[in-house]
Amino acid sequence: MFIYVCQIQFVEDKQEFSRFPTKAGRRSLSRSISQSSTDSYSSAASCTDSSDDETSPRDKTQTNSKSSTDFCVKNIKQAEFGRREIEIAQQDMSALISLRKRAQSEKPLAGAKIVGCTHITAQTAVLIETLVALGAQCRWTACNIYSTQNEVAAALSELGVAVFAWKGESEDDFWWCIDRCVNTEGWQPNMVSLPLLFDKIDANVHSLRVLSKAGKLCVPAMNVNDSVTKQKFDNLYCCRESILDGLKRTTDVMFGGKQVVVCGYGEVGKGCSAALKALGAIVYITEIDPICALQACMDGFRVVKLNEVIRLVDVIITCTGNKNVVTRDQLDRMKNGSIVCNMGHSNTEIDVASLRTPELTWERVRSQVDHVIWPDGKRVILLAEGRLLNLSCSTVPTFVLSITATTQALALIELYNAPEGRYKQDVYLLPKKMDEYVASLHLATFDAHLTELSDEQAKYLGLNKNGPFKPNYYRYVCTF
Amino acid sequence: MFIYVCQIQFVEDKQEFSRFPTKAGRRSLSRSISQSSTDSYSSAASCTDSSDDETSPRDKTQTNSKSSTDFCVKNIKQAEFGRREIEIAQQDMSALISLRKRAQSEKPLAGAKIVGCTHITAQTAVLIETLVALGAQCRWTACNIYSTQNEVAAALSELGVAVFAWKGESEDDFWWCIDRCVNTEGWQPNMVSLPLLFDKIDANVHSLRVLSKAGKLCVPAMNVNDSVTKQKFDNLYCCRESILDGLKRTTDVMFGGKQVVVCGYGEVGKGCSAALKALGAIVYITEIDPICALQACMDGFRVVKLNEVIRLVDVIITCTGNKNVVTRDQLDRMKNGSIVCNMGHSNTEIDVASLRTPELTWERVRSQVDHVIWPDGKRVILLAEGRLLNLSCSTVPTFVLSITATTQALALIELYNAPEGRYKQDVYLLPKKMDEYVASLHLATFDAHLTELSDEQAKYLGLNKNGPFKPNYYRYVCTF
Amino acid sequence: MFIYVCQIQFVEDKQEFSRFPTKAGRRSLSRSISQSSTDSYSSAASCTDSSDDETSPRDKTQTNSKSSTDFCVKNIKQAEFGRREIEIAQQDMSALISLRKRAQSEKPLAGAKIVGCTHITAQTAVLIETLVALGAQCRWTACNIYSTQNEVAAALSELGVAVFAWKGESEDDFWWCIDRCVNTEGWQPNMVSLPLLFDKIDANVHSLRVLSKAGKLCVPAMNVNDSVTKQKFDNLYCCRESILDGLKRTTDVMFGGKQVVVCGYGEVGKGCSAALKALGAIVYITEIDPICALQACMDGFRVVKLNEVIRLVDVIITCTGNKNVVTRDQLDRMKNGSIVCNMGHSNTEIDVASLRTPELTWERVRSQVDHVIWPDGKRVILLAEGRLLNLSCSTVPTFVLSITATTQALALIELYNAPEGRYKQDVYLLPKKMDEYVASLHLATFDAHLTELSDEQAKYLGLNKNGPFKPNYYRYVCTF
Amino acid sequence: MFIYVCQIQFVEDKQEFSRFPTKAGRRSLSRSISQSSTDSYSSAASCTDSSDDETSPRDKTQTNSKSSTDFCVKNIKQAEFGRREIEIAQQDMSALISLRKRAQSEKPLAGAKIVGCTHITAQTAVLIETLVALGAQCRWTACNIYSTQNEVAAALSELGVAVFAWKGESEDDFWWCIDRCVNTEGWQPNMVSLPLLFDKIDANVHSLRVLSKAGKLCVPAMNVNDSVTKQKFDNLYCCRESILDGLKRTTDVMFGGKQVVVCGYGEVGKGCSAALKALGAIVYITEIDPICALQACMDGFRVVKLNEVIRLVDVIITCTGNKNVVTRDQLDRMKNGSIVCNMGHSNTEIDVASLRTPELTWERVRSQVDHVIWPDGKRVILLAEGRLLNLSCSTVPTFVLSITATTQALALIELYNAPEGRYKQDVYLLPKKMDEYVASLHLATFDAHLTELSDEQAKYLGLNKNGPFKPNYYRYVCTF
């Protein structure tokens, strides 16, 4: 869930994109690396996967209604269905639509040629179509061989965006798509959108990381991940909802009265704990940091070592970012029927590898749900094989994706329009004021009305009436 | 979700079961009518519906491993898979298992011959196998042509229970199954288990209602629905969880900041409101009863008329048991993208019929999710066509089904073993003490430890040390 | 906190009121017994106790501005200050004022002559003045020698109500006041208002109980205590607020992170637990009733035996109605600095007597706060010597008293105006519809708007459009 | 509530302390400025103010049991009572006691000569006695002419600490006390403890600010105010409790169903809102910062402009740090009986001055409670004349004061023992690791058990096993 939007001075790094042409036009040839927020797949996506047609898209010739053939998707005829998915997504992305409306007469991205490599979902489509509305030309490919919503790819292609992606690409397809996306006659990208850190489930991590690393070294980049807004939403608020959703969809577990241990009391742990407590679970916390531990105490949780409660609890949820937080020895002592899952930032928190031993039987009972069975018949329910539960087993609300997408759009505009010299070869945070702007665009959804400072009050507080209202260092807020 | 367990003096009512023999043996020929609690389908069930074999079960000859052919299911070979589903269900039904273990040496149902007509799910199977363990002979058929888990039916048949049911029966199949279940050579049922009130979605309502009505008139019956334990669980606690689950699975809606109006502040409304508020929604209540309204105020909700907030809210949830609580006129004024659903006791709460007019377009976007589109493009999202959301779009926790099933088992034991004359031709509530016993069996799940009265304290309070701890009229507790 | 309002056939019971004349007029000479709800004293009351004047009121001759001398209070000159206290109370008793306004043209109590014996507080005054506005003549005396607000008594006397009461009466004064109140030339009471059960701290219990017992035997009486509205407010909602207030005012304890055991999970226990959990305490529950215990589990509390947590907890709160719930043996094992208090219905829950032994030192550190010190220096903080915390150490919101007072006023009107024969010599609950009416009068405070049934809906539900909306047995709601 | 602890290179600044000698001994002459956290007065303090003796302490000669006369307090004979207050405070300050025990053999403050000018309360006494136990010599005076607990001052003096303070000093007394405290034969302070920013209610602000400003300019100082631990406790957690306490003690208001607007959604606003919502109030938020506003939305609050709800709400609470947040115009439109109070950082938030006009009547109904009465009889209840509610009308839990005091003690140790050159003439934040240490000392109170990193985990995370666990910039956490 880390995203970079950047504008890169092209530096003849031909390893991956050897046919990239050199700089031309007002701006040097650059790459803007961005990614649609999360690895989740919407429910809709999984419903519509009719694999009736077995022909590879590479072997088909398709033409959209404007007679263009500059795209490669599963089936261009699904465009109408995809359009509906995009329209549904737009309903919860009114901030981005609002930005689109406000800025489309100015065309702040006129001349921008953006290549993107992200998940291709309805929400991404809303972002791409916003970039187009603001003047950009876009070509897009998928960052993951499984995550493309075929209908959405068709709808974008029908609109004229050159998309090269389908669900279920082979690795060879994947590279073929990137090549077709980037290398086209008479078109040179000057911005790129790429994920900085891919989740470990992606097959394509290595190569893209090289690309992103190259980018980091030689151009200004904007870290849209560490904005306050995105952090609070992706972590605290989003996890508060997705922990419940993820557990319910996989196990139908009743929350009331369940004893749960949440390992780690950062933003993710806080969100998970609050939601479960609110639904009647009894939650224990483990922590290494005494400040977080003290907060857990004040919030009404018992702070324990995992070993103290391991025989007692019904559910373990890891939210630490650490490794081997739940060990084989501890899994051995869990109750029959207990559930183990991970909401943290990696797939290392539960020592899943230690469970792949001959004396234990694995039984896949549902998608993403394994029963690990001990010789005495005890079953421990492992979700998503220890990978992130909310990426694998629940959906991310479109509203959260809207915040991410709006932030990305603003970052692209800022980088593209900044005066020469404002940004050097470094990683920047989105300026505080833009962070506030993203937030303000989303208030309409809640019919929330902001109070405005009077001149007298602004003077008293030493603030500009239009913000920023807090200093830049207030963004480091997410961990306590 | 209303269930009756009853023991019926056979009265030559040959309408439905014309070949029922007359009384024989210690007890008169009776029928016990019971039903596994709810209309929900577990997630697992839907995963395993491989309709590869198109032959009707009626046309196949199947034999279980004990060479019996006295059953009719989709595919007896699925028994092993079904056994696993039953084992999983048992993990959350430890109270019933505990009852089974405590009572199986006594065999309190020895001699009982029970025919059941219920949903055939893994949870029902745990009940049936408990009845068998306590000495009963059971024959079972489905109360709904869609709700049978084929693997579970196979597993029961493999064990020797005569099951006649499969998923996707025709109406003719349905009656054929009932006939085969009830009328068999050399076996005369003396107890029956039937639902009293079927949800309106059932095709079979009418006929079974006739049966149940016949039963009501001439024999003692036990209303296991109105026990305190079942009420609190099926309504307050269950709805608290299922409203979140149902909304998430259908719409992926984010709860935080959403404005929601809950119509009705009985137990169901209280459960829905509490859960949504806990997840960050702003909840309004409508009520007709000033006492409930005052409680809503004290619980921190604004009490409004629906018309005051209709243009404002993102979600309407009906929990009234009333009709036309949401009218076409009100639906006309809702916001684009708003959601309407029903958690009450009927499908009449939302005036869905009024939406089936030519100027409105219906678009089915997912299973159970319709977009109703106004001429100006406004979409209102209608869930489950106004039927019960938690039956259609979420699962009921096995633990809740365990409470229902344990209550049913106890009711059957009580009716079967009561001394002549204790129960007359009337409807009885489960005695308070048995209600308490069901609750106490479920405490182990939570590792909860009950305090025992000392002799001195029992005397001071005028109570028996073993309960009942409250008078019988305390069961009428569920509505405020 | 139990209150009776009754109309009593006079039966020559001359023990207490020997000079009562015999029946005369349409109604037989009756006594109406009522009491202002609770034993609490408002903060204001305690502020205004200036004991400058040491002359006994009995020895003073005082005259109000209308030249009446038919009263006996501390100082009639305090009337203006008392009037302000009454005005303040009126602000939170708008329902009673609303009843007063609606009914004062009808004068439904015209001809009623009411003697009352209750706490004389600003809230009581609002009730008395309402009764007067509705046509009654009232004479009033105090039920407790300490609880009179002198200024309020003065304000009532100034208005013409014959009040005989002051703070700090001797027992002899007490009886003198009752005599002067009841026995006056040319005035015969026909209704009486008395508490049924006095709290044990009252010195006057015995005699009044005799009176109330006499009443119960020979006349209809109305139990206003068991109305749903009063129960929920006096128990659940009131305790939710007063447990925090009572603990804070006495000990300044921080709630966050405190480990608390609440003994008993009825309405009082539920209110206390919910409030403490909401403020960040970790709450354990003890219960004898498995149904309540199961609810505690589902509400997210661990259910334990007291001995399991006695060494661990910071606070014990008893809410059982039982005796010796906390024994000396358990007190011996509590932590240094831990707090013990009682919110239940008696002063027997904590075995305080067992602490009055020579090896323990008692140290009174503040009003209502004792440190009990063990030989090793351990201190246990005992509040209100085990009596009800919310009566002794916190205030009861005027709004709650308003509900009680409105219920009392309605009960008096009902009894006084009921057709001959409706009420026999028995104890009646307030009719459900009047309970709903009390609730509806209080909705305006919250700006709550009730929904009205359409004719069609009323017919569908089988209800009268104006209520009652629930059957009478729904009042037994308060215990689960 | 801002506190500075600093060690000051003496720079011949003779304005305030003209008789300060020059540097002598191992360390240069320094001053350590610290203050006991808050302006609150414990309940106990106010109980024990028996002003029987009207002789000024300056005119009395008192001698403690060790024959010392180097102190000036109200009455040395109250020492025993004060000792008990200190003992009670110690029970909730176990972290400081624990620090005292761990470090007293090392005497890390041996040679330190500390003068302090703070509130003199039982909690301060625990700090002072800890400093003494660690080797320091201390002389102390009061920073506020009203805030001294006389008994505590007596107990400290009895122990040998030179205290010059009593409750109700004149301004002349105040300066006399400072002089006597600082200027004594043969004793030169090398550390000083002073508040940086005094609350505006203090009469002595100006002079002390000059002193503190002088200090800031020429020596290293440690800002113990901005530590994460202190911030979260003083703001979020403390306000969560004190808003309820302050409102209850002053107005006995019932929270359930009340409509409240909280102006400002920083930490203080978050704490107030959460507590009130938890107790059943309906809370609205006003905000100027869109990021905070968006958080309020997600937390389930409606974000409004004050004018939208001003006619509706029962309570206004300001938490902004801004001025004139509630104007006369808005006060004119409030409901009869509504309450206005301030929890923010100044007394400017409510425009109280605008209420001091002839057409409005002020009526003091209780301590800290004024009714402001409009010509039409409308009353608005103003608390603490718009000053901080939690300083004036509620207590601060000792536990919170313990965190502040422990932080101060550690800061003094750090400054006193730091190698030459570590701290320059600047303001330092307590090093992150010490912040964590303060937190860890307080975990024992909650019986909380910290998890320790394994070597492998520490390496994986790139952390030292003993912390710090977060970078230094994580302290800027308190405002969102």
CA C137 – CA B161 distance, rounded (Å): 78
CA A110 – CA A89 distance, rounded (Å): 25
The answer to whether the CB of C43 falls within 8 A of the CB of D249 is yes
Three-state DSSP state, D162: strand
Q: Check CB contact of A448 with chain C, cutoff 8 Å.
A: no
- Residues from chain A contacting residue B367 (CB–CB below 8 Å): 47
Which chains contact C through at least 3 pairs of Cβ atoms less than 8 Å apart?
A, B, D
User: Hey, what are B379's tokens?
Assistant: 């979409």
Q: Are B257 and D281 in contact (CB < 8 Å)?
A: no
Q: End-to-end distance of chain B based on CA atoms, in angstroms?
A: 19
For residues A162-184, average pLDDT: 89
* Mean pLDDT taken over chain B: 80
* Mean pLDDT taken over chain A: 80
The answer to whether the CB of A193 falls within 8 A of the CB of A408 is yes
pLDDT value of position C26: 29
- Any idea which residue has 């196949």 for tokens? B60
Interface with B, mutate which of D261, D282, D295, D314 (most B CBs under 10 A)? D282
- Residues from chain C contacting residue A299 (CB–CB below 8 Å): 256, 280
* Burial (CB count within 10 angstroms: exposed 0-12, middle 13-18, buried 19+), residue B99: buried
For residues B348-376, average pLDDT: 94
Q: Classify residue B245 as left (phi > 0), alpha (psi -120 to 50) or beta.
A: alpha
Q: Are D336 and C91 in contact (CB < 8 Å)?
A: yes
Measure CB to CB from residue C451 to each of B287, B295, B470 and give the nearest one.
Answer: B287
- Residues from chain D contacting residue C43 (CB–CB below 8 Å): 249, 252, 366
- Residues from chain A contacting residue B241 (CB–CB below 8 Å): 248, 254-256, 279
- Of C20, C428, C439, nearest in space to C225 by CA: C428
- Residues from chain C contacting residue B94 (CB–CB below 8 Å): none
Q: Check CB contact of A187 with chain B, cutoff 8 Å.
A: no
Min Cα distance D14 → chain A (Å) is 33
pLDDT confidence tier of residue C457, bands split at 50, 70 and 90: very high
Please give the interface size between B and C, counted as residue pairs whose CB atoms are below 8 Å apart.
172
CA D388 – CA D384 distance, rounded (Å): 7
Q: Classify residue C27 as left (phi > 0), alpha (psi -120 to 50) or beta.
A: beta
Q: What percent of chain C has pLDDT over 90?
A: 49
Q: Check CB contact of C265 with chain B, cutoff 8 Å.
A: no
- Of A264, A235, A262, A166, nearest in space to A1 by CA: A235
Kindly state the DSSP code that residue A197 receives in the 8-state scheme: E
Measure CB to CB from residue A299 to each of C280, C301, C302 and give the nearest one.
Answer: C280
Q: For residues D422 and B370, which has the higher predicted lDDT (pLDDT)?
A: B370
Q: Which residues pair with B286 in a beta bridge?
A: B263
CA B443 – CA C295 distance, rounded (Å): 10
Rg (CA), chain C: 24
Min Cα distance D252 → chain C (Å) is 6
Phi, psi of A247 (to 5 degrees): -65, -40
Q: Check CB contact of C300 with chain A, cutoff 8 Å.
A: yes
Contacts (Cβ under 8 Å, ≥6 apart) of B472: B429, B431, B432
Q: From B283, which residue of chain D is nearest by alpha-carbon distance?
A: D300
pLDDT value of position C224: 66
Q: Are B323 and C456 in contact (CB < 8 Å)?
A: yes
CA B457 – CA C349 distance, rounded (Å): 10
Contacts (Cβ under 8 Å, ≥6 apart) of D358: none
Q: Check CB contact of B309 with chain D, cutoff 8 Å.
A: no
State which of A238-252, B191-205, B265-279, C179-193 shows the largest mean pLDDT. B265-279
CA C444 – CA C432 distance, rounded (Å): 20
Q: Where are the alpha helices (DSSP H) in C169-324?
A: 171-182, 205-218, 228-231, 238-251, 267-278, 290-298, 306-309
ipTM of the complex, rounded to two decimals: 0.81
Residue C220: is the preceding peptide bond cis (ω within 30°)? no
User: Hey, what are B88's tokens?
Assistant: 């999983």
Q: Are B461 and C322 in contact (CB < 8 Å)?
A: yes
Of A470-479, C77-86, C368-377, give the lowest mean pLDDT range. A470-479
The answer to whether the CB of B138 falls within 8 A of the CB of B157 is no
For residues B31-43, average pLDDT: 30
- Residues from chain D contacting residue C445 (CB–CB below 8 Å): 257
CA A80 – CA D5 distance, rounded (Å): 68
Q: Check CB contact of B301 with chain D, cutoff 8 Å.
A: yes
Q: Are C303 and B470 in contact (CB < 8 Å)?
A: no
Q: What percent of chain B has pLDDT over 70?
A: 78
pLDDT value of position D5: 55
CA C80 to chain centre: 26
Return the amino acid letter for D366: R
Q: Are B280 and D300 in contact (CB < 8 Å)?
A: yes
Measure CB to CB from residue D322 to each of A287, A457, A477 and give the nearest one.
Answer: A457
Please give the interface size between A and D, counted as residue pairs whose CB atoms are below 8 Å apart.
172
Which letter, b or e, does each residue of C217-231 get, where b requires 16 or more Cβ atoms within 10 Å of its Cβ? eebbbbbbbbbbbbb
Residue B21: is the preceding peptide bond cis (ω within 30°)? no
- Is the pLDDT assigned to residue B29 strictly greater than 50? no
Min Cα distance D401 → chain C (Å) is 11
- Residues from chain C contacting residue D278 (CB–CB below 8 Å): 275, 278-279
Of A218-222, A230-234, B242-246, give the lowest mean pLDDT range. A218-222
Which letter, b or e, does each residue of D166-195 get, where b requires 16 or more Cβ atoms within 10 Å of its Cβ? bbebeeebbebbbbbbbbeeeebbbbbbbb
pLDDT value of position A216: 38
Q: pTM of the predicted model, to two decimals?
A: 0.84
Measure CB to CB from residue A298 to each of C280, C298, C301 and give the nearest one.
Answer: C280
Phi, psi of B345 (to 5 degrees): -105, 10
Phi, psi of D346 (to 5 degrees): -155, 180
- Is the pLDDT assigned to residue C219 strictly greater than 60? no
Measure CB to CB from residue A479 to each of D289, D449, D470 and give the nearest one.
Answer: D470
CA C160 – CA C436 distance, rounded (Å): 33
Measure CB to CB from residue D300 to each of B282, B297, B298 and give the nearest one.
Answer: B282
pLDDT value of position B2: 37
- Is the pLDDT assigned to residue A301 strictly greater than 80? yes
> What angle do helix axes A290-298 and D432-443 make, rounded to 10 degrees?
40
CA D354 to chain centre: 29
Q: Are C298 and B233 in contact (CB < 8 Å)?
A: yes
CA A361 – CA A380 distance, rounded (Å): 11
Q: Are A474 and D451 in contact (CB < 8 Å)?
A: no
User: Hey, what are D48's tokens?
Assistant: 């024990």
Interface with A, mutate which of B241, B362, B449 (most A CBs under 10 A)? B241
CA D275 – CA A415 distance, rounded (Å): 43
pLDDT value of position C221: 61
Q: From C301, which residue of chain A is nearest by alpha-carbon distance?
A: A282
Please give the interface size between A and B, counted as residue pairs whose CB atoms are below 8 Å apart.
107
For residues C32-48, average pLDDT: 32
Q: Classify residue C186 as left (phi > 0), alpha (psi -120 to 50) or beta.
A: left
Low-confidence ranges of chain D (pLDDT < 50): 1-4, 6-51, 196-219, 474-480
pLDDT confidence tier of residue B47, bands split at 50, 70 and 90: very low
Helix (H) or strand (E) holding D4: strand D3-6
Q: Which residues pair with D184 in a beta bridge?
A: D187
Q: Are A302 and C282 in contact (CB < 8 Å)?
A: yes
Q: From C478, which residue of chain B is nearest by alpha-carbon distance?
A: B477
Q: For residues B389 and C6, which has the higher predicted lDDT (pLDDT)?
A: B389
Helix (H) or strand (E) holding B436: helix B432-443
pLDDT confidence tier of residue B223, bands split at 50, 70 and 90: low
Provide the pairing of β-strand A369-373 with A361-366.
Answer: antiparallel
Which letter, b or e, does each residue of A187-211 get, where b requires 16 or more Cβ atoms within 10 Å of its Cβ? ebbbbbbbbbbbbebbebeeebbeb
For residues C11-27, average pLDDT: 31
Kindly state the DSSP code that residue B397 receives in the 8-state scheme: P
Q: Check CB contact of C302 with chain A, cutoff 8 Å.
A: yes
pLDDT confidence tier of residue B41, bands split at 50, 70 and 90: very low
Interface with B, mutate which of A86, A243, A252 (most B CBs under 10 A)? A252
Min Cα distance D115 → chain C (Å) is 29
Kindly state the DSSP code that residue D349 receives in the 8-state scheme: S
Confirm or deny that D270 is annotated as ligand binding: yes
User: Hey, what are A339's tokens?
Assistant: 């559930």
- Is the pLDDT assigned to residue C63 strictly greater than 80? yes
Q: Check CB contact of A312 with chain C, cutoff 8 Å.
A: no
Contacts (Cβ under 8 Å, ≥6 apart) of A422: none
**Within a 13 Å sphere around the CA of D216, how many CA atoms are in the beta-carbon half?**
15
Helix (H) or strand (E) holding A196: strand A191-197
Q: Please, which residues 387-406 of chain B have a Cβ atom closer than 8 Å to chain A?
A: 394-395, 397-400
Q: Are D290 and A233 in contact (CB < 8 Å)?
A: no
- Of A154, A62, A92, nearest in space to A444 by CA: A92
Measure CB to CB from residue B255 to each of A44, A241, A337 and give the nearest one.
Answer: A241
- Is the pLDDT assigned to residue A217 strictly greater than 50? no
- Is the pLDDT assigned to residue C215 strictly greater than 50? no
Three-state DSSP state, A316: strand
CA A332 – CA A215 distance, rounded (Å): 45
* Mean pLDDT taken over chain C: 80
Min Cα distance D354 → chain A (Å) is 16
Return the amino acid letter for A297: C
Q: Which residues pair with B361 in a beta bridge?
A: B373
Which chains contact B through at least 3 pairs of Cβ atoms less than 8 Å apart?
A, C, D
